[in-house]
Amino acid sequence: MAMYTKKVMQHFLKPRNVGRIANADGVGKAGNPVCGDVLMLYIKVGKRKKKAKSKSNVEEYNVEEYIKDIKFETLGCAAAIAVSSMLTEMVKGKTLEEAKKISNKDIVKALGGLPQHKLHCSLLGQQALMKAIEDYERKKKKQKIKKQKVKIKSRKANEKQKANER
């Protein structure tokens, strides 16, 4: 009996989306100290229009964020590499909310299963993905705060200039 499924072997021997993304929007790192596997996951987030449900006859659109690109670097066993590769294929093109719902069980199922003693590898993928999304959301929040501070400073500068003109 084979230790790994055909799908696992395909993703191990020819992994998809390997590498780094320069200026990644989010980076997630997960590791297992017991076996030494380490996964670095890089995401690039895009925005696209999505047709909104409207009660009126006017077409309305919302903007949704989605994973435009995703790459990984994994130092680990065949299962860790296969999990990383499969995860990138599962996530690419999904919204951030859809990506957050992907579980380690979903990854294992997509691979056609993993041996019991390799199931921990699927957790690495799911954990790295969550950390990459959290990193993106943290950076986005900081940028928003920074923009608000700039607006406040320019508003105060305008008020000061107007006061000086009086």
Out of 121, 124, 129, 132, pick the active-site residue: 121
Q: Up-side HSE of residue 76: CA atoms within 13 Å toward CB?
A: 30
CA Rg value for the chain: 21
Is 77 annotated in the active site? Answer: no
SS3 content of the chain, % helix, strand, coil (to 5): 50, 20, 30
Among the listed residues 9, 35, 38, 110, the single catalytic one is 35
DSSP E strand stretches across the chain: 26-31, 38-51, 61-75
Where b means 16+ CB within 10 Å and e means fewer, 102-123 reads bebebbbebbeebeeebebbbb
Alpha-carbon distance of 105 to 15, in angstroms, equals: 20
- Please identify every residue annotated as catalytic: 35, 121
